[in-house]
Amino acid sequence: MAETIRVLVTGAAGQIAYSLLYSIAKGDVFGKDQPLALILLDIPPMLPVLEGVVMELQDCALPLLKEVIPTDKEEVAFKDLDAAILVGSMPRKEGMERKDLLKANVAIFKSQGAALEKYAKKTVKVLVVGNPANTNCLIAAKSAPSIPKENFSCLTRLDHNRARSQVAMRCGIPADNVKNVIIWGNHSSTQYPDVHHCTVNVQGKDVAAFDMVKDDDWLKGDFISTVQQRGAAVIKARKLSSAMSAAKAICDHMRDIWTGTPEGEFISMGVYSSGNLYGVPDDLIYSFPVTIKDKTWKIVDGLAINDFSRAKMDATAAELVEERDTAISFLGV
């Protein structure tokens, strides 16, 4: 049996975590022979709810789950971590300005970054889910200077999965027959879902998505806006945010970090932009196409970028620069 790894989930009494914890605990993410301890962090008022979550995890009687530790203390939660999934963040409340939301979250992720710096392993892999995810991830990374920036990423896999599914439904094929869609930029409504490098597998043959769909207006119009606005559409219909699909995307993202991406395929994740070859400004967490091997991601280089894509990539980068600069102005507060 492998050595037990320590996995933290924050916001652990919330609804995304409720959809996520079972999949992690039964081995869908870190492997079917990887024992783990789950550390569950939430704010003090949520501790009674968290106790119920702990009881349910115990009642699942899962062989890989060696320990469950519920806590509201960072020094307990962040100790000796192998993986941290930071789901908890301040949600946007009615009438709240984006700037106010950023200010609240900068405080949370500065504190959690400092806790990672102080208590976690330097090899810890950190996935930020709580929104605004890209900028929260950047603040956490900046607050943990001795942990490599490459160890931090934010979730755009949900957007990636949404894009993949839209193309699959349009073509009448299973979603796993669609590969190499790209989400560029921010996990916000400025993100750019790009299918210029996407292929669909039909009767064993890979065909370019544009050739298969044969509707450029849809691919450059409604397809993009559907993916960009999907989260809002789910909230409107369900009166709650997308928890099941977010949990699935978190599992996909962390499993790929742990086990690597399939040969010939790339996935989307928000990673540190410095040194990229796509003209994206340095010092952002920006979503790129990446491949992963030996727990190390690499941006897929050399993809042709047309003028349509360039404009969309620049627009989402501009939003991220503004978010970053606003967030950093709060850091000294």
* Catalytically active residues, by annotation: 187
Question: Phi/psi class of residue 60: alpha, beta or left (left: φ > 0; alpha: ψ in -120 to 50)?
Answer: alpha
Query: Within 10 Å of residue 19's Cβ, how many Cβ atoms?
Result: 18
Nearest to 243 by CA among 20, 84, 28, 38: 20
Asked if 201 contacts 173 with a C-beta cutoff of 8 angstroms, the reply is yes
Report which of 20, 86, 2 is spatially closest to residue 270, judged by C-alpha positions.
86
Annotated binding-site positions for NAD(+): 42, 105, 129-131
Q: Is the dihedral of CA 287, 288, 289, 291 positive or negative?
A: negative
Q: What is the DSSP letter of 176?
A: G
Annotated binding site: 42, 92, 98, 105, 129-131, 162
Q: Compute the distance between CA of residue 186 and CA of residue 134 in angstroms, rounded to an integer.
A: 6
Residues 6+ apart with CB under 8 A from 63: none
DSSP code string of 139-171: HHHHT-TTS-GGGEEE--HHHHHHHHHHHHHHH
89 three-class SS: coil
- Give the DSSP letter string of 28-72: TTT-TT--EEEEEE--GGGHHHHHHHHHHHHHTT-TTEEEEEEES
5: tokens are: 């790894």
| Helix-helix angle 133-142:307-331, to 10 degrees | 50
